[in-house]
Structure 1
Amino acid sequence: MRRVKILEAAAAEASVAAAWYEHERSGLGAEFAAAVEAALDLLEDEGTPLSPMPAEAGARGAMRLMLRRFPYDVVVIERGDECIVVAIAHQARKPGYWRGRDRL
């Protein structure tokens, strides 16, 4: 079992996105939060396949797990037996804004 650590900035991004979805439709924020939780649970399993991030970020080791139903990636860096969540990033907004966080 892999240990998952979530950066404070990534947790804040998930909260902001959940609040936005909840504002759009009652209950949708909870569904987003559940999708994030499900992704984090999957990250604990070392057999979960992760996709490399494109371009330079991928070359530096950033990986992603796409959320189901929502256009967000859980962006992670693997360090030994630890998986560090550096961002909960929208797939189309401000690509790569989190890149400074991957230099742990």
Structure 2
Amino acid sequence: MANVTICSAAEDDYTESLKWYAERSIETANDFDAEFDRALSQIADAPERFPKCDSRHRYFLLRRFPFRIIFRIEGADIVVVAVAHGSRSPDYWTDR
């Protein structure tokens, strides 16, 4: 299993989204958190099985929420660079 690191900008994406859900429903926020954790576990287990979005990055689509987790493989490590909402500008994270 690879080590997964979340860059600070991706952490901000996640925190902002979790807060938005929590303001509306604690249960939904908990579901979002659980789905995010599940995604990170699957990414860590087999990162190369997920589709590429460019030459360096891959993505994981959350099932229940309109988000993509954008990550790259750096040696034996995984770096999450964005938790991107589907209706946000699609390439806002490319400079990370």
Q: Assess same fold via TM > 0.5.
A: yes
Equivalent residue number for residue 38 of structure 1: 38
Q: TM-score, normalised by structure 2?
A: 0.91
Give the TM-score normalised by the residue count of structure 1.
0.84
**Identity of paired residues, percent?**
29
Q: Indicate the residue corresponding to 2:93 in structure 1.
A: 98
What is the DSSP-based 3-state SS (H/G/I as helix, E as strand, rest coil) of the residue aligned with 1:51? coil
| Structure 2 letter corresponding to 1:90 | H
Counterpart Cα distance in 2 of 1:96 and 1:40: 21
SS in 1 for 2:84: strand
- Counterpart in 2 of 1:70? 65
What is the RMSD computed on CA atoms of the aligned residues?
A: 1.4
Q: Which residue matches 1:83?
A: 78
* CA distance in 1 between partners of 2:84 and 2:34 (Å): 16
Runs of 4 or more off by more than 4 Å in structure 1? Answer: none
Distance 1:70 1:22, change over 3 A: same
| Partner secondary structure for residue 43 of structure 2 | helix
Report 1:18-29 matches (<5 A): 18-29=18-29
